């Protein structure tokens, strides 16, 4: 199959796949096709996923005379060649994962006596963080949303409330869309949020978000709500619970209204909330709780933009600074 003999460039660009791979032997090509059918028919993987596996396996197994020649040295050599050719860490990690899945299956299918992929490691992909939004840019985005809601259009009021909540609390877009009316405690200015793993947490919000929520619930929401509307805090134009895709569009549209502001989505607003809290002196443990991270190491990813502040603190406090 031509597509298997010549793998398509990966998502990292045409140079990320490394040097041109030799062709596949008939036995290897047949095994890849059997594995592809297994993924699609037994594991229910999408055609896009199966195509990606084919491409990665064609790159990793190229040059083999047969499956009997497949060993750990060959796999490491193919990864090394791709690395020297400038492949991204994510490409190397993806290919290693693909071949580990393949070799484990091949052992179960009786095509391999041992599993050479079980000992194959690769550099973990660096987690990608969205572009940093400055505090003044975030303020400009929210000020523009306030102006847009001045006429008290229901959608504009909802969008303003959603933006204020996302920035004030740093909650995920899915968490925001899952909020109900009784999730809000006005007296304490808190939200009860159901996060990943059905873990519930409480997050706080400030006066601007409280003001926007009040206007939305009093003026905007009753216009969009119908007799069969759920008790969702944020509604779509048809009266149902707002869809995360709509929420993402709201954020992107709001960012484009401010010249010079980066085009980010809700995760970018979440990142901004964490970063600006840390810049303002918030304790890392507090930010961890606010964001709903299971481990502190995840929250520490956000400190990459606060190095200058950390240096100042170190110079001021450390006895050997």
Instruction: Determine whether 196 is an active site residue.
Output: yes
The Cα–Cα gap between 268 and 281 comes to 20
Instruction: Determine whether 302 is an active site residue.
Output: yes
Instruction: Determine whether 293 is an active site residue.
Output: yes
- Assigned token pair, 130: 């969205």
**H-run or E-run covering 99:** helix 89-108
Contact 4, 33 (CB under 8 A): yes
Instruction: Determine whether 43 is an active site residue.
Output: no
Catalytic site residue from 119, 196, 253, 304: 196
- Assigned token pair, 164: 């204020």
Instruction: Determine whether 320 is an active site residue.
Output: no
Catalytic site residue from 172, 221, 241, 271: 172
The Cα–Cα gap between 232 and 211 comes to 18
The backbone torsions φ and ψ at residue 241, rounded to the nearest 5 degrees and listed phi first, read -60, 135
Instruction: Determine whether 270 is an active site residue.
Output: yes
Across 186-295, where does the E strand assignment appear? 190-194, 200-204
The Cα–Cα gap between 223 and 110 comes to 63
- Assigned token pair, 300: 């520490």
Biggest CA–CA distance in the chain, Å, is 72
**H-run or E-run covering 81:** helix 72-84
Catalytic site residue from 78, 215, 271, 293: 293
115: Cα within 13 Å, side-chain hemisphere: 15
**Three-class SS of residue 168?**
helix
Catalytic site residue from 252, 267, 279, 309: 267
Catalytic site residue from 54, 215, 270, 271: 270
The Cα–Cα gap between 158 and 161 comes to 5
Q: Which residues contact 102 (CB under 8 A, 6 or more apart)?
A: 32, 35, 53, 57, 117
The Cα–Cα gap between 68 and 111 comes to 9
Instruction: Give me the residues paired with residue 232 across strands.
Output: 180
Could you identify the residue written with the tokens 């896009």?
Answer: 48
Residues annotated as catalytic are 172, 196, 267, 270, 293, 302
């Amino acid at each position: 199959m031509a597509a298997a003999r010549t793998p398509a460039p990966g998502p990292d660009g045409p140079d990320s796949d490394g040097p041109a791979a030799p062709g596949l032997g008939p036995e290897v090509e047949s095994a890849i096709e059997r594995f592809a059918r297994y993924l699609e028919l037994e594991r229910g993987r999408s055609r896009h996923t199966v195509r990606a596996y084919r491409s990665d396996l064609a790159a990793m197994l190229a040059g083999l005379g047969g499956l009997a020649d497949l060993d750990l040295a060959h796999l490491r050599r193919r990864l090394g060649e791709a690395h020297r050719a400038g492949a991204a860490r994510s490409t190397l990690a993806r290919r290693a994962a693909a071949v580990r899945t393949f070799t484990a299956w091949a052992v179960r299918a009786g095509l391999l006596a041992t599993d050479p992929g079980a000992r194959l490691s690769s550099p973990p992909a660096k987690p990608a963080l969205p572009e940093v939004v400055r505090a003044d840019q975030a303020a400009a985005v929210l000020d523009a949303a306030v102006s847009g809601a001045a006429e008290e259009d229901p959608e504009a009021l909802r969008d303003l409330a959603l933006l204020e909540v996302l920035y004030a609390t740093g909650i995920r877009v899915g968490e925001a869309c899952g909020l109900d009316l009784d999730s809000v405690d006005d007296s304490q200015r808190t939200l009860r949020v159901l996060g990943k793993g059905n873990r519930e947490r409480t997050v706080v919000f400030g006066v601007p978000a409280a003001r926007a929520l009040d206007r939305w619930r009093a003026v905007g929401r009753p216009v969009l709500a119908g007799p069969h509307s759920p008790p969702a805090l944020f509604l779509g134009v048809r009266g149902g619970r707002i869809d995360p895709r709509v929420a993402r569009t709201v954020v992107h549209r709001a960012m484009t209204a401010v010249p010079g502001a980066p085009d980010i989505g809700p995760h970018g607003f979440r990142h901004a909330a964490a970063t600006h809290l840390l810049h303002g002196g918030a304790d890392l443990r507090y930010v961890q709780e606010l964001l709903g991270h299971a481990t502190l190491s995840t929250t520490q990813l956000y400190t990459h933009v606060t190095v200058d502040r950390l240096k100042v603190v170190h110079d001021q406090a450390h006895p050997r600074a």
